[in-house]
Structure 1
């Protein structure tokens, strides 16, 4: 049976809402093209400006309440409205298990099918363009030998992400090719210049302790 999940809550198991239809648009690529006077054309600078970016998706799910009588189905419908309508939430759909779509979701009005049967839509017109992996990846490096360390993080996603980082000792972190040093802390912290792109990402650590990265892959 096909169902959506919100915060690991299966909508079919919890409320009896069967997923009968879904429409998920592909995110629109955003390029960077400039016109070149005198050359009778244009130049595509997308790759040199950091690569392709993507616009938001439009997502619509159609749900059919199948558990209980009409009164119970309507009660379950309004419980879902109170739970998610107008709120930012992550939804897992059955064809991409272990990944979620993030958006501010709306619940549509019930639409009569036959007799007391009805369906309704769960939708968002501005869904984040990437599927986000869940749960987040957590990688720990034991850096207790010596004071200077070079580490590599292999990231397989498409979208660039800014990981949360924590360190059990006193130290600093610097991205390869960058001159910005950040003081590490014992609680998860996000740093502007510490980011992961689809490649091997290299960092230099000064200090001793256990270094942990926490991040999610982002995929189309």
Structure 2
């Protein structure tokens, strides 16, 4: 099968194998900073010198993993946005889809969680930008949903930050659990998110009432 691939396809396949090898090693509870080039290339089945045809150094490999994780997070947002545009309840409709993404991409998301406080400033900054962008996009989706439902909420960005933190932590923690436990985690997640929404709405209504009292 490899013989039928073009040179560009072979190069992409090798690059993918290197990234998969790094993810596998990191799934063994290794931080990226403690990951050696030789152990990654050994796992990928290539010579160490071949690594440099795809990445200039290990840090560039780390950034590539973050970029792939960012793409996976964007897929979750696209699904949530599609559900909102159909007029469906984001909480009820998207939690199950979201958790499926975490099951499919658990190793990638663990890279984000672990390396957000890792030893590489470059990777940390990239992850921070990724999560900041994610929260701003999620805030837009939340604001659209609340407008459609004619409901008041406090700052959508704060709500997005709370929800993304909750989803991220619970999603990673439950990705490898047995099916029954995963379903239980989905119910808990939906419940927690609704609490955030209700709290934000109650706060917004309270602030609106206070302003009206001050103006009367």
Q: TM-score, normalised by structure 1?
A: 0.31
Greater strand percent: which structure? 1
Greater helix percent: which structure? 2
Q: TM-score, normalised by structure 2?
A: 0.31
Max Rg structure: 1
